[in-house]
Structure 1
Amino acid sequence: MSRLTFPAPPPPRATARRTAARTWRTRALLLAVMGASANLTACAAPSALAVSPSGVPAFSEDMLTPEFWIRRAPSPDAVLLDADQVAAKRMRAFAPEGGLLDLKALPATLTRAQVAGWVGDAQRTPIQAVIDEQGRPVTAAMLDELRQNTATGQIPETSAARYGLSVRRTHLRSLPSDLRLFASEDLRDYESLQAGVLFPGEPVVIAHTSADQQWLFVQTTQGPAWVKRGDIAEGTADAVFSYVAKEPGRVVTGDQVRTVFTPEAPEVSELELDMGVALPRADVAPGEPVNGASSYASWPVLLPVRAQDGSLAFQSALLRRTADTAPGHLPLTRANILRQSFKFLGERYGWGHQFNARDCSGLTSEVYRSMGLLLAPNSGLQGRSAALNHRLFTARDSHAERVRALRQAEVGDLVVVPGHVLMIIGHVDGEPYVIQDVPFAVFKDPATRQLRKTKLNQVSVTPLLPLYADDTTLYVDAMTSLVHVTRP
């Protein structure tokens, strides 16, 4: 697939950040492809463990409840990081090598070279566009048309940065298009142009507009991407960042909740809010009606909305008191880590938050976001973020050293392998177990001595040591980082 050539890339640190943000997708795709096509031949044996009827080794049904693991956790209700320590880690996430981009630090004036470089970087997707949703071949002409809609030739020499807030859960795209493109028929869980998601109330810097005027090119805290114009409300920098800085009135602690239905204000009616979304409290007197309903049995919150001219406004909305929310971020405890992660159990894998779901790094980041911690948007950056404590592993680390580290790992620690991240939930007979959002469990069947592949494609509980990252390498031997998220 040919690519456009862009002038003068941005400064090296920004380039490195964006390159890292794209590398994880390449590795994640490789992991999925290797799992899908694993050569089921005999390999070096992990522990010889019985296989459950579900096709997962060393597994029992009672492991599918958080209480099973909470009972095994040491001091499950002890607070691991206090509010000040959590706030310090949030700040470090936006510092150099923290994994997130501080939008307030971007220049108020953007150059053509800078914006063009961002546009070019956003296009670098690891998933080749071979077929469309109907299975028809993707032609060079189709791809050229998509690139032409980026309108890079219309980027001015300099332009003022504009600011906005997302008004709903909306996908980030590598190119300004809704077309769904895939590498092959059997890899439809991985869509070529999918680049992530924005949740309601997330800030963006608006840098450019597509030729058809339907898409905005934006910088997000995750990096550059295209987003539907109608999903962004544009306001002043002060209005945008003041909203983001407000104290949370309610934090979503369920996997996903919705605002109360209201025909009086459709822009905030049944709005999807994912785990960890924090909304400021609306200034509403007790019992005062909000959008045609009393607020006494609900929580009034303030949400950004898009006026008819595209400008930013704010609207009160209601969250039912019975919805899974909290008055602030949850305390960072082992019990809360387990309860929050198990709320996603069984959810379909969603590459880049497709299918109204999330992928492996989305799972880990949303669990911790409900407790006030911000993690980088991909597994590779989570494994080396300067905001977190981690032990890095190289080829010099032996299998025995790796196993020893995992047997000593704590609840909530993250295990990072190329393209994937898993969360430690505890130990059974000294063996580490994880919760993970993964396409397959590949392991050696003790009965046949052959590799066996169980399709999961969802958030799952599995042992760690028996699992293979591909047809020759165990996860433990592929591990590049053990992240101690809950340490100061």
Structure 2
Amino acid sequence: MAFLSAATLASVPARAADVALPAVSPAGVPAFSDAMLSPEFWIRRAASPDAVLMNARQTAAQRRLVYAKGGGLTDLASIPAMLTQSQVAGWIREAEQTPIKPVVDEAGRPLPASLLPALRQNTAVAQIPAKTAARYGLSVRRTFLRALPSALALYAAADARDYESLQAGVLFPGEAVLIAHASADRQWLLVLSAQGPGWVQAGDIGIGSADAVFAYIGQAPGRVITGDQVRTVFTPEAPAVSRLELDMGVSLPAADVAPAQTVNGASSYASWAVRLPVRRADGTLDFSSALIRRSADTAPGYLPLTRANIIRQAFKFLGERYGWGHQFDARDCSGLTSEVYRSMGVFLPPNSGQQGSSAALRHRGFTAADSHAERVKALAQAQVGDLVVVPGHVLMIIGHVDGQPYVIQDVPYAVFKDPASGQLRKTKLNQVAVTPLLPLYADDNTLYVDAMTSLVHVAQPL
């Protein structure tokens, strides 16, 4: 094929493609055909697709490691219950370290000079006491972490609406937080979650004892969400748990409900009963049963970690619009990889750089000393589910065609040299998409393969 280097062809035995591939498809993606949009296309090509790559004991060990030093997630139980002023102030500064400079508002107007100082004033950093007792809570719905205590939508430019400056991540229902501080207007809480610090709307957190919070997240899975997004059953009798959004990989404990017992006005016999945190009127934590339809895409525990499951889970997001920090009821590049693996019991850090360096994962690092040929050879030997990390982005290997690695990724553009003109061509994707890897550029000058900093072998135990 036009895009394959001699190193690739020499290192991997040729294998006939299932379909003839055009140099550039009608969709504007090189070396691509519509057949590649089916997970079965890639499962057929995978070696031993149903073989279990890591068993339950090994995935449990990985989950422990990702919360240990260098793993990328924070073990909230290890944080001292008495917080210092400098510690809390440091979390406020860390939360604000957004990679997207806020320049314009939602209408595209330049921000007034007074806006950001006013938002920082709302952090009430001057009111942090010398010592603060940590409080704990559980998120009661899918809610955003913010860089500052504000719901304002700010952007780097009027035409860059897919990247909101204050978006810092997401909390899923039932996620534990350490509550460190409150904003001056009392509408926001500074929390430390497993993924780091951020501001969350106070009404989205139920505040309880450490024992209650850690006991809840320590329970065995009753149902694991294995679809791209599932909702609890609608119930006007219990609005707090009605049609809650549940993303892939969310694990909920089972509710103690008898088969004939009614839950929130409906029989439980055709549904799964789960236990969810709710927030009382005074802000304190309580729990409620809720129903998930049996027909919904869930499992009684984590899925087996197999190549077939990696591919099937990833393809459930195919075509979903890119969602920076899980905006638009969606996810971004590292959210995609995290949720796919979480549904199989493997936990990843929240951003691409951490996924490429986590001590809980096996990976090969690359530096400027690694040649193009060495990098191509490593990719030719990559396995289904391996992650390719470049600065600011992560992609997942789904297989090879004629020796060339293909990936699924949540990406704004496919940038490549048009084989007819030799000129750089940019196809806007802005969604979860399947592409070849070797032809694509990370920027106008550097191929992804040459920008690669890490090849992560997630499905290989340490």
* Mapped partners of 1:108, 1:253: distance in 2: 35
1:311 to 260, 276, 284: 284
* 1:50 maps to 2:23: yes
Match of 1:368 in 2: 341
* 1:121 to partner: Cα distance: 1.5
> Match for 1:431: what amino acid?
Q
CA deviations on 1:249-287 (whole Å, 9 max, x unpaired) are 100000000000000000000000000000000000112
* 1:96 to partner: Cα distance: 0.5
Unaligned runs of 5+ in 2: 6-21
Match of 2:127 in 1: 154
Matches within 5 A, 1:16-415: 46-47=3-4, 50-415=23-388
Match of 1:29 in 2: none
Match of 2:17 in 1: none
* 1:126 to partner: Cα distance: 2.0
* 1:47 to partner: Cα distance: 3.9
* 1:191 to partner: Cα distance: 0.6
Unaligned runs of 5+ in 1: 1-44
SS in 2 for 1:401: helix
SS in 1 for 2:118: helix
Bigger RCO of structures 1 and 2 (CA < 8 A, at least 6 apart): 1
SS in 1 for 2:430: strand
Q: Which one has a larger percent helix, Structure 1 or Structure 2?
A: 1
Asked if structure 1 preserves the Cα contact closer than 8 Å seen for 2:405 and 2:437, the reply is: yes
* Mapped partners of 1:352, 1:110: distance in 2: 28
CA deviations on 1:362-386 (whole Å, 9 max, x unpaired) are 0000000000010000000000100
Asked if structure 1 preserves the Cα contact closer than 8 Å seen for 2:387 and 2:456, the reply is: yes
* Mapped partners of 2:201, 2:58: distance in 1: 36
TM-score normalised by the chain length of structure 2: 0.95
* Mapped partners of 1:118, 1:384: distance in 2: 22
* Mapped partners of 2:243, 2:322: distance in 1: 23
* 1:136 to partner: Cα distance: 1.5
Match of 2:390 in 1: 417
* 1:46 to partner: Cα distance: 4.2
* Mapped partners of 1:130, 1:382: distance in 2: 29
* Mapped partners of 1:47, 1:466: distance in 2: 8
Asked if structure 1 preserves the Cα contact closer than 8 Å seen for 2:4 and 2:404, the reply is: no
* Mapped partners of 1:135, 1:440: distance in 2: 23
* Mapped partners of 1:304, 1:292: distance in 2: 19
* 1:412 to partner: Cα distance: 0.2
* Mapped partners of 1:116, 1:384: distance in 2: 27
Asked if structure 1 preserves the Cα contact closer than 8 Å seen for 2:356 and 2:453, the reply is: yes
Match of 2:460 in 1: 487
SS in 2 for 1:458: strand
Asked if structure 1 preserves the Cα contact closer than 8 Å seen for 2:76 and 2:177, the reply is: yes
SS in 2 for 1:257: strand
SS in 2 for 1:264: coil
* Mapped partners of 2:152, 2:210: distance in 1: 32
Asked if structure 1 preserves the Cα contact closer than 8 Å seen for 2:102 and 2:156, the reply is: yes
Asked if structure 2 preserves the Cα contact closer than 8 Å seen for 1:46 and 1:444, the reply is: no
* Mapped partners of 1:267, 1:399: distance in 2: 54
* Mapped partners of 1:116, 1:353: distance in 2: 26
> Match for 2:79: what amino acid?
L
* Mapped partners of 1:361, 1:127: distance in 2: 17
Matches within 5 A, 1:466-485: 466-485=439-458
Aligned residues: 444
* Mapped partners of 2:229, 2:147: distance in 1: 25
SS in 1 for 2:434: strand
* Mapped partners of 1:470, 1:46: distance in 2: 17
* Mapped partners of 2:167, 2:74: distance in 1: 20
> Match for 1:103: what amino acid?
L
Asked if structure 2 preserves the Cα contact closer than 8 Å seen for 1:349 and 1:459, the reply is: yes
CA deviations on 1:123-178 (whole Å, 9 max, x unpaired) are 12121111100111102211111111101111111011000000000000000000
Which deviates further from its counterpart, 119-128 or 51-60? 119-128
* Mapped partners of 2:52, 2:182: distance in 1: 46
SS in 1 for 2:262: coil
Match of 2:419 in 1: 446
SS in 1 for 2:433: strand
> Match for 1:100: what amino acid?
L
Match of 2:428 in 1: 455
TM-score normalised by the chain length of structure 1: 0.90
CA deviations on 1:424-461 (whole Å, 9 max, x unpaired) are 00000111000000000000110001110000000000
SS in 2 for 1:452: strand
Identity %: 74
SS in 1 for 2:272: strand
* Mapped partners of 1:444, 1:135: distance in 2: 33
> Match for 1:63: what amino acid?
M
Structure 1 residue ranges, 4+ long, deviating more than 3 angstroms after superposition: 45-49
CA deviations on 1:159-203 (whole Å, 9 max, x unpaired) are 110000000000000000000001111211111100000000000
Asked if structure 2 preserves the Cα contact closer than 8 Å seen for 1:426 and 1:434, the reply is: yes
